[in-house]
Structures are given as C-alpha cells and as structure tokens.
Structure 1
C-alpha cells in the first residue's frame, strides 16, 4: 500500500509539482489561510498561487503524507535532516520568507521531493546510497530551490494544457487509492499515460533553474559543488542496465548535458570548507539498521572484528554498538558508546544513543544526568527532549516528563510523536482528561480528522491545570469541523 500511494505522489510531479489544483482536490480541504479559500478547480481567472495559498495546500497535504506513508520517527534522524536542510536554507537568499519542514520516508528507493509550503521529503535509500554529505546536500539544495523559485505556482499554467476530464479522473483515482489502493492504482494506470509526458516536458526548465540555485546554496554552505554532477553520474552508471531507473531519475531526467553544466558550474565555485561530516555517516549507519535482525551474520562478523581489535573506525564502532543493543548485549553497547562519547562529548548522536541504550537496558536513571547536563546547553534540542522524557517515564517520573513535553509540544512544527509520548506521561500520572487532547493532537497531525475530533470533544471541558487548554481545544474542533464540511461539500 505504501509503495502504491508513494508512486501516486511521485506521478503527480514529485519535485516539479504538477498543479496546485491537484493537491487541493486530493485532500479536499483548505486549512485556514488569509482568505480561508484556496483556488477553485473550475476557475481560470488566476494562474498563480499566493504564498499563503501554497502554504495552506501544503499544510493540508502533509496530513495525508503522514497518514499513508511510512515516515521515520527517530528523533536523531529527524534532527539531522532538519539541521542539514536549514543549513542550506540559510544560504538561499530567496528562502528567508518561507517556511520549511524536512521529513524522512522509510523507503529503500533513491528519491526526494518537494511539496507545497516548503515540505521536503527524503527517502532513507537516498541517504544510505550517498557516499558523503555533499551528495545528500546536492539533492536537498535542489529541492529547496524548487520551493523558493515557486515552481509549484508556475506549474498552474499547465492546467490549460491538460483536459479537465483527464485531470479529474486522475484526482479521483488518488482519492480512491487512499481508501482502496488496488482499485485506485488500477484507475490511475488508465489516466496517467497522457499526463506523464506533459508533466515531464513542462519541468525541464524548472530542473535547470533548481540545479543552478541549489548548487550556489550548497557551495555557500561549505559543501562540495562537484557532488551534484558526481551523484547524478554515479546513479546513471549504476542503473544503466536496469529495466527501470530509480524514481529520482524518473522525476529528475538527467542527461549528459545537464551533468556537464553542473560540472562547469562547480569549477567556478570556491573550494569546499566542510564537504562531509561525521554526523552524516553516523545517521547513515543508524538508518541502515532499520532491517537489522538479532544475531545477523553481519553482527557476528563485527563481533569477531571487535574481539581482534580490527573494528577501528568510529562509524563501525557506533554501528556495532547499535547492533549489540539490538542483540541485548547492553554491556558491549554501553562500553562502546561511552568510549565514543568521552572522545567527543558534544556529539549529540553519541550522547542520545548512550542514553537510549541505558533506557533499553532498564537503567533509565543512569541516562538522566547526561541528558540534564546537555539540556542546560541546548534546551530546545528535539532528540534531547524526547530521550529525556522517555528516561523520566521509565524512571517513574511521569509528571516531570509531562512538564518538559508540554513546554515544547505546542510550538510550531512540533513532531507528532511528542504528543504520543505526552499522552503516555499523562496517562501514567493519572491525568486521563488530558490524554484525550494529546491523542487528538496526535491523530490530527497524522491525518485522522474524524478520530481527532472525537478525542477533542471528549477533552473539551475536562479538568486541566493548563489555562489555555479549553481555548486551544475549541479552536482545533472549529478547524476540523470546517475542513470536514469542505470535504462533504466537494464530494
């Protein structure tokens, strides 16, 4: 199901998005924008979106993405991809007035895509395939450029080139796919062929512009601009004999001219200052463990390498520490992680991984001092907040966990998982009334609006020491009811 729906998203334009109208119709309900109204499908008077309209479409669309796609919820991986993304955003002059949100999809294929409103998704397969951080930055800089250059708004002109019946049929197929994947995908097969070529033909100029803007931003950020051509060329060569190229190459057509242009631009740019990082390789190792099974052959081989002292690199030691934790050899995992942490005490990945292992081994109290010390320096760190709250919960301190989670849960772009953990802390503390709101927030952020509404209605008027709870809950109820009314109206 995930593969089918993800394919549907990519057909719609993936990077150079096909049309804001498609996104409006797919999820069928605008979130509050300046005008509370998104472009009408039947209107031909406006050919471009305002930034607020584009943002509203993206805010609605991400709910569907969260509901139907397998997103990574690991705080360290989320934190890394956001730090990398915003490092590039800072170097794109046209990005300063835009919102961005970076997320990871558990998928082995090589792909990344931009959605309306600055939502940028990256497949884990793209990260594990990249040899260095500059290659990953090359792709992300390109995606950011698609947002800042307003390629979505420009693509609205395409609707005059596609027949309305074809477009409506394709939209209907995606709606069906969300409820009945096989039926929806079958319907898509009958309508996508005619749209596909028009979409691809219409994106080549956008791709060139995104290449140019993206390579400038990554160079300013200190990455190696030569990674753009190198990565495209590597993918092209590695898939030359495959019947079907990677999805990234299907949505980003690459030819020798484009590679040569990227290489020529790179030659005229400064030498890279920070082309790679340890954190990239640690996160890459972490993501590579997603399919790890206990007592794997690779684990046994690494165990022998540790014994004969041939497990020398930090990344290999970190990888084996995580493998050891999976195999419940917590002593080995903690010893290795402690050694790595002592060597680089400000490395967040080592610290959080060490704390996670203490928690997994049933010793959360040992993790708490490490986390509290680092939180004094970086009090807004998402991985620290989540790991600290987990340690407090496992140490039977739910009220302390509740306090730190409430401090951060209602900030802009809060991750859905913070509400899941908050609900657990509230439940352990016996604050059942509060659990309904947290569950409502989680369900809403995951796209289950009916479930969220039911939870918010249960929460309304219940006991809470939060003076803003009632106002906040009622506002969410009003918002969801508005969206659901719009959906019924559009059916």
Structure 2
C-alpha cells in the first residue's frame, strides 16, 4: 500500500506537469476535478473499497452533514470513499475526493473523532493544499522531476532506486507531508466545519492526542496518516487552543449514531471486514476462554461469516443476541449471515420479523431502515421475486446517502437486467463503473442505455448528462 500512495501522488505530479509546462499558476478548478477523477480511476484498479451498504451510508451521512451544514461554499461536490485496509489513514485529492481507510474505526471511540478526521481532510481540499504542493513540486530541479517520472514508469522498488531516488524517501520528504502552515490552516478550517455542523471540536483533539503518542513510531506502526500529517507537540497545543476557542466540551459526540451500541457495532464490523478473518477467529476464540463477553461472541460470528463458516457463525450470533440488548440492527446481522449462506428464505423471515418504523427522525435509524430494505430486496431477488426487489431498489435510489455507493447501482442493474429493463440496467451499470472510476466502461453502458431508452423517458436526460460529464475531460 505504501508504494501505491507514492505512485498516486507521483501520478498527481505527472498530470499537473502535463497541464502546466509553461505556467506557474495554481491548478484551475476543472483541472483539479480531472485529477480527482483520474486518481479515483487509479485507486479503483489497485485497492478494494468497502461494499457494506451500512458502513458506506454512515460515512456518507457524516460527510454530507459536514459539507452541507459546515461548509458555506465549495466549488466541488464532495465524495467519500472507504478503502478496505486495516491501517490508519485518510487523505484527500483535488476535486473533492476524500478517502478513508476502514482501519480508522479500530482507533476511534466516538463519532466526533471520526468527524474530526473527515473535517480535517475536507479542509485540506477546500484550502487546495494538494494543488499548492503540486506547484511546489513543479518548481524542483529537472533532475528530481526526471527521477520521479522514471520511478513511476519503472514501478518503484530497485528499478526506481537505480535512477537515484527511493520511493519511500521521496514520498515522505517531498510529496506526502503537509507543511506546518497547511496543517494549521486545515485545523482552523476543520474546527469551523465541525462546530457549524454541530460537533464538538474536542473529538478532533482527542484523536490527535492518541495519534501524537504514536507519532515517533509512525513507520513501525504503519500509521501512514502520520507520515503525511505531522503532529509535533506545538501543533497539539495549537489544536487545544482552537478547541477552547470554537466550542465547549458539551458538544454532541454522536449526531448520526446517537445509539452507543450502534456505533460500537459499526466499529466492530469495519474492523472485521478490514482484517484477516482467520486471524480474528483465533483471536476471539482465545479471548472467549478468558472472558465470556457477548461483544466477543458477536465479533467472532462476523469473522466466521467472513471465512464462510456460516453454520458456526449463525450459532455464535444467536448466542450473542441472547445477551445483547434487543436492538433491530443486531437481527439484521443474523439475516445477512443467512443471506450470504444462501438460506434466502430464512433471511427474509428474520428481516420481515424486524419491527422498525420507516418514519424515524433519528439519523442512524434511517440508515438501519435503508439496510433492512436493501437486504430484503437482495433476498427477494434471490428467491425470484424480482419485481418486488425492483420496487424496493427503485424506492431507495433517490436516497442521497446512497448516491456515491457503486455497489447499490450494481445490484440494481443486475435486477433490472433480469426483468428485461435493459435501458435502466445499462444506466445503473454505468453509474457503478463511473463511481468506481472506470470511465471507459461507464461510457459504454451509458451509450447502450440510450439505445434502449426513448427520448421521452426521464432517464434519457439523466444518461445524456452523465455522458456529457464523462466527455468533458476527454
């Protein structure tokens, strides 16, 4: 992964250099948008994104809260992506693209800590710090630039070292580290975003305090975040002074996940998805020998399911549910194990037995309801009740916390194709590939969608807009 980040930021340099061979002006907004799209494309071919609809919706919900309430104006539409990686890292690239590693969940204790990290990355984007760093890189000597380009073409490693530069040294000292001024500006802007959105800024202080204790061992602990976001004691002192300025310690620690059990459940789910399930199964079984804890049983059930040991996973989940509070979202986890095991009817039985109100005003419950409907539609589709599944997906497609989830559109496209709604199927497959950064395949599906749709169809105009968006950077 470390070589990947070197390649990505080096790649940013190449794109930038190609735009500005003569000019030293800062990147224009269209150029930043183009770079962001191209980096997403590069990332999508190298890393795996989290597919869990609930975790993705949760991240998008926090992101939307921060950008819609905390940001007065942005030239970009912000997009949030959750990378399947068990290390602690978050970064932004030009054009409003924010990436988080799922490993972050293992280190946070509250939603406001997560919001603090996200607000900080949003701030870097708004302040256009990456664009400014690219300008600085361009001003380097030609020899260094040539070495950088050679390292990209040769793929890093010994070949890159042969041209006089190591990927790790260059990445850490020249490409990845924000300046102190950048960090202080992002801290100030991030605090403003947090408080306007309704979060206490102290969550950001707490997570940075935790990271500060690890900063001396960033390389050994594989904390990539600390390689790009230096945390000297002076900055921590500055953060505390900002927190005192921008808010008291009485702010809400959780706005989306106002149920503490719900938040803990999400952190466990993200951790289990991120790590090797075989290692986790051994770990949790050893822990259960020492302590009889329902959360450990719950974690073990998820890890066993990841390993596809469904019978044992169901048994452990049922044990955990007897001891955990009777929350509807725990039943969803049992239903999902049944679904993944191929027992679709039993999954449906569990889902349909969940008592839950669609009209809840609590934000986390809206996400839970979305997950209920999502799993129900998948189970219906697998039991050949395709039109019922289609109606559910069709009712969910306007939900703004799903609009950046490519896998939602992938499953919707599959259902449409099975009931001969070919125009819609190609449109949703196009959305899937666009959100994954595969613009060539997205363009193909959008063009195919037009061949099946009539100009009177409302979707026809949506497809044309999508094609226009993809063509503008060609």
TM-score (structure 2 length as normaliser): 0.77
Taking the aligned partners of 1:364 and 1:464, their CA distance within structure 2 comes to 38
**Cα 1:158/1:181, change in 2 over 3 Å:** closer
Alpha carbons of structure 1 residues 65 and 301: separation in structure 2 relative to 1, 3 Å: same
What is the rounded CA distance, in whole Å, between the counterparts of 1:241 and 1:379 in structure 2?
A: 40
State the partner residue of 1:31: none
Q: Distance in 2 between matches of 1:170 and 1:157?
A: 15
Give a deviation string over 1:361-392, Cα, whole Å, max 9, x none: 43233145357954465778653453232122
Query: 1:192-242: per-residue Cα shift (whole Å, max 9, x none)?
Result: 656864557872201011122323444565655445454334334346457
Following superposition, the deviation at residue 128 of structure 1 comes to: 0.9
Q: Displacement of 1:455 after TM fit?
A: 4.2
- 1:65 matched to 2:43? The reply is yes
Q: Which residue of 1 aligns with 2:26?
A: 47
Q: Trace 1:293-312 onto structure 2 (pairs within 5 A).
A: 293=278, 296-301=281-286, 310-311=292-293
User: Is contact 2:426-2:446 (8 Å) kept?
Assistant: yes
- Describe the SS at the equivalent of 1:104: strand
Bigger drift between 352-361 and 366-375 goes to: 366-375
1:355-370 matches, within 5 Å, as: 355-360=335-340, 361-362=343-344, 363-369=346-352
Q: Structure 2 CA distance, aligned partners of 1:359 and 1:244?
A: 40
State how 1:165-176 maps to structure 2 within 5 Å. 166-167=144-145, 170=148, 173-174=151-152, 176=153
Give the C-alpha shift of residue 247 in structure 1: 1.4
Is this contact kept in 1: 2:81–2:99, CA < 8 A?
yes
Task: State the 1:131 CA deviation.
Answer: 3.9
Contact 2:281 2:300 in 1 (8 A): no
Q: Per the alignment, do residues 467 and 207 of structure 1 end up closer, same or farther by CA in structure 2, a change over 3 Å counting?
A: same
Indicate conservation of the 8 Å contact 2:281/2:304, yes or no.
no
Structure 1, gaps ≥5 residues long:
13-18, 29-39, 487-491
Structure 2 partner of 1:8: 7
Shift of 1:417: 0.6
**Partner-residue secondary structure (3-state), 2:45:** helix
Q: Indicate the RMSD between aligned Cα atoms, in angstroms.
A: 4.2
Residue aligning to 2:317? 333
In the TM superposition, residue 43 of structure 1 has moved relative to its aligned partner by 4.2
Of 428, 431, 439 in structure 2, the residue corresponding to residue 449 of structure 1 is 439
Taking a change above 3 Å as real, the CA distance of residues 247 and 53 of structure 1, as seen in their structure-2 partners, is same
The 5 A counterparts of 1:116-195 are 116-155=94-133, 157-158=135-136, 161-163=139-141, 166-167=144-145, 170=148, 173-174=151-152, 176=153, 190=165
Contact residue 91 and residue 221 of structure 1 kept, 8 A: yes
| 1:272 partner SS | coil
Give the CA deviation at 1:113. Answer: 0.6
Mean Cα deviation higher: 442-451 or 73-82: 442-451
Contact 1:433–1:464 (CA under 8 A) maintained in structure 2: no
2:164 & 2:395 partners in 1: Cα distance?
48
Contact 1:461-1:470 within 8 A present in 2 as well: no
Counterpart of 2:257? none
Aligned residue for 1:264?
Answer: 241
Q: CA deviation at 1:89?
A: 3.4
Aligned to 2:272: 289
Distance of 1:444 and 1:97 partners within structure 2:
20
Which residue of 222, 226, 232 maps to 1:255? 232
Structure 2: any 5+ residue segments left out of the alignment? Answer: 255-259
Structure 1: distance between partners of 2:40 and 2:214: 32
CA distance in 2, matches of 1:195, 1:302: 39
The alpha-carbon distance between structure 1 residues 297 and 23, as it changes in their structure 2 partners (threshold 3 A), is: same
Distance 1:480 1:140 in 2: 27
**Alignment coverage as a number of residue pairs:** 450
